[in-house]
Structure 1
């Protein structure tokens, strides 16, 4: 130990009388004066200080690498490895289901300082099985599970084991997740609300498939960084979407699975991810640890515990994923059919879907996260006709992992989604974008329980296209890749696969997995390597006598400059590689001759026909219209109040959570026995009634209030004023609508108590005011025209009257 560590002290002592020591410039008598004479500019002292610091950092860095390797080996030796930061208990083992899978349902046990309310909606997180092990959704307090636990929700986690069950398929996994959710629902008979489900990355498309097949078991769905439209993307970005074309299709996936003796090593997926950003993989991440070795080791090891926890997928699973999703893009166009003949159509999802993505994500950029909306629907009115609520949230900067790993994202976005899940669950059908602003920027602070406010704005397809950036000419290129992939896969299975499968053995497959470069990097720097024996002793000595260099040291500054140059160079190489790949892809698969050879040239649909014109879809809309027409005049005061809220606010029951809190409070006062599920049904039903025939829906308001006293009607109006005041003063257009509603409420008052109206000339048409205000609103608010539903029936031409003439009150008439 003395031989290895003492040179640090010896060199410092020898240099002190000549250059001075950064920590003890007077180490020897007259040392400071002599140092000033010999080194007037301090370069020698800075060099000695930097040299010592760099040697110490090197020793500490390699000791952290040794700890990382030990951590990896310990983690991989566990039977059920995960990186959850909370204690759990297994409720259902997927290996015991009729179609066994390596998935399991875990109950998350809350920390001692957190109280769980069993009456609250259950919260379920599903992590991606894309090379890494499970647990990233709850590996620290500020995580998806962490914020749900703090909010008092019963929390569950769906994880998986390192190796799949024999013969396991993607459909088996989807069925397992449905079975797990049914079990969660059975555990909470006291609540009528279905679980909120969070699907991270690859788990996002899995739960969307499950929700399309079994919509009744899902509450609100949050898909974070989840790709559903794999052909979408912006030129110059999203280089991963070209991978299938540049490898000639999915035959390479089949080859990798055959080399693994029927198993696909997830380390290959991790390697593909790392190659996307070589600057971060080969330098920036490691240098950040080296430069901040005194403070970053714990965080680094915590993340590497998940990053190095590689799992294995079944060969048929990964082949299904690549053929049908990555290359075929069949999920977003309703082309997938289960083995029992059920079509997987995402339009069947009945729960609100929240899409959380980021512009800084190069794995799942916004076009791939949102493009499925464009693939399935002709417009926002088509979404409304299908009674679907789709909400998307765009982060500006965070990367793919940051979407469900970053503590700042969890404290802000995920906290808001969790806290407002009931609000999201009652929003009317349509397309919305949500933004999150700081609470200090708004009034009514008593209605904002956290540091941020969640707000919603209706969106149309023109606005959506700014983020999706759909380019039809690219569709034919990717469709050509899909055809080429099928051809190459057929050749591989005919001529190559039998040879590979005949020579591969389980032992050879295990040896190949162990020798993977990523796995080998962890094992070589561990205690199993005898060359690492001195590291812990040296690192312990350095920590006791650590002398970090000052930040203003010139050599430290030169080190930072050199690091920045390395990052810039690697980024330049990455950009050149990605642009060359994109240009090559576009040139090869854009050739008319190649497209014609696979039968696609001149094909207008490119096997991506939007499924919105199916006969069953049209029958669904017609039946729904007829059902709602019979309900226009049915109901009572509660229907009248809700219909008025939706009408005045222009379609949505609230613009942010403040309106919802006051609306929920009003609901509790008006009808205390109404459950949240009944409230949700009421909101959606009244929304569609207004879309179907707004004029008749408004004219029947007095009929819904028939029999109410004047005092009760005043209370209803007071409740409406309270709700509308939550977000500030109403716009001029909304105020006119509210005046119209109050006039209709006045018509329902008993004759002796009807409110007097100003002295005006009577009108022969008692509904003329209603018609005029509705017509004026239609002309002044162009955004409403974009939201008119395809279920809306033709309106009658409104009656007209002289300008300025007002309708007389019921008493006057």
Structure 2
């Protein structure tokens, strides 16, 4: 998670042109250079005082927030429903019902949304920090919305499994409150909360509706050379023993400031210069935005030492979740293939914390080919933004008003998609778009079929890289054992609660807030001086040559820090590649033995395979069973399997929704039942497409008028995105012939064919 991004500073790519432009400006300013210097000096001093006052306000706000029992940055009112501290296995999590702003109407018949924020160093609320947010989008669409929050301090002894158990309880409660709603609760998991709700859903797949993972890393080893340095951090530290040391020094607690510092260190130019310079150079307008962000960024939370150890051992270094190597306390394997709800993965190429490879690599770990994915009954959708940073995925208004809004609006369509891999494509409306009135908003959302090969094309590790990461995991276990056996008892003997509090207080991340606050005697008088400056403010003219020189120097500082970052990351990667690629080291940790694989694939599940085989046997006997609904769905899926139409479009779903609402309410099919029909007909086509089509007439009503009505429903749906062409048009013509023929004649044709 990186810090607040700032507007771009002047480009430095062409230093010669920039220097020439500055030189020309200096020549033009020579006649009144002294006046410009005086004007700039006055402005610079005033900006310095105002900037110091902004830092003082930040420190004071942070100190006030430390006194709050449950600090958060939610901009919505809420009602507490369940306090996790009252559960059988108490945790510091709670379930809140979000109260919509006045004038916002909520339809209680719509599926509820639950937003989960990451407990990765920062406090809760980022998913509802403003009205244009994940929570705001769900409320605007009329959905009941809930939020899972957490307190700054963990309950002593709570574990990650306890948290997952509590989240399952929260989801079940929301489901019970909205048992009449059309669909199970949709879950949104931001960053680290993404893998947490995936674990919860794998253990309790019966509770959840669609899952939306926003910037959530699930394959921590994945990435490409030269671009994803954070994945090497475990190797640079020799494994997770330093995490254990931090927990021991923290007297059983782990300071979230350490996690935030790791994120900040990834981009030193932003942390050390750009963020602050942006406020200083735009002090008359940027202060409130800076303070709003720092309310969330500046208050790190604590984790139990056991919690962070579980995370680092199993995820950061072990990468065990996608390999099916994690088990709960009852011995059940946490198998992501158990999840039966659709999974939406939203990631970005501009995200240096969770690159697309880490957000999607788990799919390749679980499934060998596309048939295995479809047969497993799992629906996975991904969307890749081109440039937005990690935090922008959660807080950017532009993302909320496009991607999150479209996903929210299309959640019912997502829930009924046939199994398979899809990419979400956003089509901007224009005059050439067919039937734009069928889609709300500015975009039309399409889910286009993709293959696992498309994910492999994103780039990733080769076998040698996998062996290097596996070497780190093995070495981590060795170092952890050495530390626990020989060093940990000594550290714990000297550690104390008072000492742990002092270490946290003196951490540079916290100390900077303390120093720039009214607690510091040297900051006395800054507030009064800032008020005087505001009353006498004299901003410098934008064409002042000294202001241009200031921006040039700032750009050079940024470039220098970026060069340092690139050199550091390159050195760290080279160390990782050469250190953990040594055959001797790999041999010593047991990775050069016969039949030892660096990357373990998830094991076969015989029970699941038997269930799939039994299901297929049952479906093979049901090809000629059903009625108009099954016939219409099978026909639409058959046409949709053409090369031109391997996509689901929200315009087509709008037609289906319209047809559904034409049915009397007491006869109307539930979304859950419709999903079952879609899944069943999809599997039937997977088993034997030709026989399924030949059997289709036996599902049709005898009345020609009713068959014509069903055919019209098929035609309207498949042409909602435009006229059919090629194979799709041929398939449509075949369906028209089947629907237009007499059922008895076609039944005889089928028997003859069989």
Q: Quick check: TM above 0.5?
A: yes
Secondary structure in structure 2 of the residue aligned to 1:728: coil
- Structure 2 residue runs of 5 or longer lacking an equivalent are 1-28
Quote how far apart the aligned CAs of 1:157 are.
0.4
Contact persistence 1:668–1:674 (CA under 8 A): no
Equivalent residue number for residue 693 of structure 2: 698
Give CA-to-partner distance per residue, 1:442-495, whole Å, 9 cap, x none: 231211210122111111121111224242221111111011000001110111
Deviates more, 1:383-392 or 1:649-658: 649-658
Query: Which residue, 512, 530, 538 being the options, matches 1:539?
Result: 530
2:600 is aligned with 1:609: yes
Partners of 1:548 and 1:184 in 2: CA distance: 54
Equivalenced residue count is 722
Give CA-to-partner distance per residue, 1:35-64, whole Å, 9 cap, x none: xxxx96221221111111111111110000
Partners of 1:254 and 1:503 in 2: CA distance: 15
2:482 is aligned with 1:487: no
Quote how far apart the aligned CAs of 1:166 are.
1.0
CA shift in 2, pair 1:699/1:605, >3 Å? farther
Partners of 1:554 and 1:59 in 2: CA distance: 22
Partners of 1:678 and 1:285 in 2: CA distance: 52
Contact persistence 2:467–2:599 (CA under 8 A): no
Query: Which residue, 680, 683, 688 being the options, matches 1:685?
Result: 680
2:553 is aligned with 1:553: no
Query: Which residue, 419, 422, 430 being the options, matches 1:432?
Result: 422
Query: Which residue, 725, 731, 734 being the options, matches 1:731?
Result: 725
Partners of 1:300 and 1:504 in 2: CA distance: 37
Equivalent residue number for residue 648 of structure 1: 639
Matches within 5 A, 1:577-656: 577-601=568-592, 606=597, 608-611=599-602, 613-650=604-641, 655-656=648-649
Query: Which residue, 367, 385, 410 being the options, matches 1:377?
Result: 367
Larger Rg: 1
Partners of 1:410 and 1:489 in 2: CA distance: 42
Equivalent residue number for residue 653 of structure 2: 660
Equivalent residue number for residue 341 of structure 2: 351
Give CA-to-partner distance per residue, 1:494-545, whole Å, 9 cap, x none: 1110011111111111111111111010011111112212111111122222
Matches within 5 A, 1:90-105: 90-105=80-95
Partners of 1:676 and 1:391 in 2: CA distance: 19
Partners of 1:322 and 1:627 in 2: CA distance: 44
Name the TM-score, length of structure 1 as normaliser.
0.86
Partners of 1:607 and 1:262 in 2: CA distance: 33
Contact persistence 1:699–1:767 (CA under 8 A): yes
Partners of 1:287 and 1:238 in 2: CA distance: 26
Contact persistence 1:654–1:660 (CA under 8 A): no
Matches within 5 A, 1:39-188: 41-188=31-178
Deviates more, 1:656-665 or 1:365-374: 656-665
Give CA-to-partner distance per residue, 1:216-237, whole Å, 9 cap, x none: 1110100111111111111001
Aligned-CA RMSD value: 2.0
Partners of 1:604 and 1:380 in 2: CA distance: 27
2:721 is aligned with 1:721: no
Equivalent residue number for residue 14 of structure 1: none
Give CA-to-partner distance per residue, 1:573-600, whole Å, 9 cap, x none: 0000001100110001011111011110
Quote how far apart the aligned CAs of 1:79 are.
0.3
Equivalent residue number for residue 712 of structure 1: 706
- Structure 1 residue runs of 5 or longer lacking an equivalent are 1-38, 755-764, 772-795, 797-813
Contact persistence 1:653–1:660 (CA under 8 A): no
CA shift in 2, pair 1:689/1:612, >3 Å? farther
Give CA-to-partner distance per residue, 1:654-708, whole Å, 9 cap, x none: 532101111222334468511111111111111111111112211111110143x
Quote how far apart the aligned CAs of 1:270 are.
0.4
2:205 is aligned with 1:215: yes
CA shift in 2, pair 1:433/1:496, >3 Å? same
Equivalent residue number for residue 800 of structure 1: none
Quote how far apart the aligned CAs of 1:380 are.
1.6
CA shift in 2, pair 1:65/1:471, >3 Å? same
Secondary structure in structure 2 of the residue aligned to 1:473: helix
Segments of 4+ moved more than 6 angstroms:
none
Secondary structure in structure 1 of the residue aligned to 2:31: coil
Secondary structure in structure 2 of the residue aligned to 1:362: coil
Contact persistence 2:190–2:216 (CA under 8 A): yes
Q: Which has the higher contact order (CA 8 A, sep 6+)?
A: 2
CA shift in 2, pair 1:446/1:78, >3 Å? same
Partners of 1:689 and 1:669 in 2: CA distance: 28
Contact persistence 2:449–2:647 (CA under 8 A): no
Give CA-to-partner distance per residue, 1:182-220, whole Å, 9 cap, x none: 111111132141111000011000000000000011101
Secondary structure in structure 1 of the residue aligned to 2:710: helix
Secondary structure in structure 2 of the residue aligned to 1:199: strand
Secondary structure in structure 2 of the residue aligned to 1:230: coil
Name the TM-score, length of structure 2 as normaliser.
0.93
Contact persistence 2:448–2:647 (CA under 8 A): no
Query: Which residue, 339, 364, 371 being the options, matches 2:329?
Result: 339
Secondary structure in structure 2 of the residue aligned to 1:215: coil
Partners of 1:612 and 1:723 in 2: CA distance: 41
Partners of 2:386 and 2:593 in 1: CA distance: 38
Partners of 2:369 and 2:578 in 1: CA distance: 32
Contact persistence 1:248–1:485 (CA under 8 A): yes
Partners of 2:309 and 2:579 in 1: CA distance: 24
Quote how far apart the aligned CAs of 1:133 are.
0.4
Partners of 2:433 and 2:514 in 1: CA distance: 54
Quote how far apart the aligned CAs of 1:613 are.
3.5
Partners of 2:347 and 2:204 in 1: CA distance: 25
Quote how far apart the aligned CAs of 1:547 are.
1.5
Give CA-to-partner distance per residue, 1:782-801, whole Å, 9 cap, x none: xxxxxxxxxxxxxx9xxxxx
Matches within 5 A, 1:2-41: 41=31
Query: Which residue, 379, 384, 396 being the options, matches 1:406?
Result: 396
Partners of 2:97 and 2:660 in 1: CA distance: 33
CA shift in 2, pair 1:230/1:40, >3 Å? closer
Quote how far apart the aligned CAs of 1:710 are.
1.1
Quote how far apart the aligned CAs of 1:398 are.
1.0
Partners of 2:518 and 2:80 in 1: CA distance: 33
Partners of 2:160 and 2:603 in 1: CA distance: 26
Quote how far apart the aligned CAs of 1:712 are.
1.2
Secondary structure in structure 2 of the residue aligned to 1:400: coil
Secondary structure in structure 1 of the residue aligned to 2:381: strand
Give CA-to-partner distance per residue, 1:112-157, whole Å, 9 cap, x none: 1211111111010000001000000001111110111111111100
Partners of 2:570 and 2:612 in 1: CA distance: 46
Partners of 1:231 and 1:740 in 2: CA distance: 48
Contact persistence 1:703–1:748 (CA under 8 A): no
Equivalent residue number for residue 195 of structure 1: 185
Equivalent residue number for residue 778 of structure 1: none
Quote how far apart the aligned CAs of 1:750 are.
7.9
Partners of 1:587 and 1:573 in 2: CA distance: 21
Secondary structure in structure 2 of the residue aligned to 1:78: coil
Contact persistence 2:449–2:646 (CA under 8 A): no
Contact persistence 1:229–1:367 (CA under 8 A): yes
2:451 is aligned with 1:446: no
Secondary structure in structure 1 of the residue aligned to 2:446: strand
Partners of 1:726 and 1:291 in 2: CA distance: 51
Partners of 1:687 and 1:129 in 2: CA distance: 39
Contact persistence 1:439–1:448 (CA under 8 A): no
CA shift in 2, pair 1:603/1:439, >3 Å? farther
Secondary structure in structure 1 of the residue aligned to 2:118: coil
Partners of 1:116 and 1:653 in 2: CA distance: 34
Partners of 1:192 and 1:179 in 2: CA distance: 20
Matches within 5 A, 1:224-263: 224-263=214-253
